[in-house]
Amino acid sequence: MGSPHHVCSIIIKPEKYLELPNYEWQDIGAISKDFKFVCFVAWDIQDNSPGFRLILINIKSKVLKESDRKTGVCESIAIDGNIVLFKTIETIKLSTLFG
């Protein structure tokens, strides 16, 4: 059974405009209504445990900010004004429950 969550590539043209971190990217993202910010989701798998980081980019200044690692899988993301909203699917290893 395959995962319902996918990996994708992000290509920014021209390439010299902004260099993104070398991550595997999830196939969802968001852009603010005023087109000032874009947010991508980067996979951050540790010890076979799913996680992710939010990568927020100010399009005008080309400044990139990265969140701490979030546990689980990002299901959806949106930018509402100055707030990034995201929905997470939490996961737990069975070994933590049953030893």
How does the average pLDDT of the chain come out, rounded?
86
pLDDT at 20: 86
Q: Tell me the domain boundaries of the chain.
A: 1-62
Q: How far apart are CA 10 and CA 40, in angstroms?
A: 9
pLDDT at 1: 40
Write phi, then psi, for 6 (nearest 5 degrees): -115, 165
pLDDT at 34: 94
pLDDT at 18: 80
pLDDT at 12: 73
User: 81 is written with which tokens?
Assistant: 């004004």
User: Across-strand partners of 89?
Assistant: 73
**Rg for the chain (alpha carbons), in Å?**
15
Q: Higher model confidence: residue 99 or residue 76?
A: 76
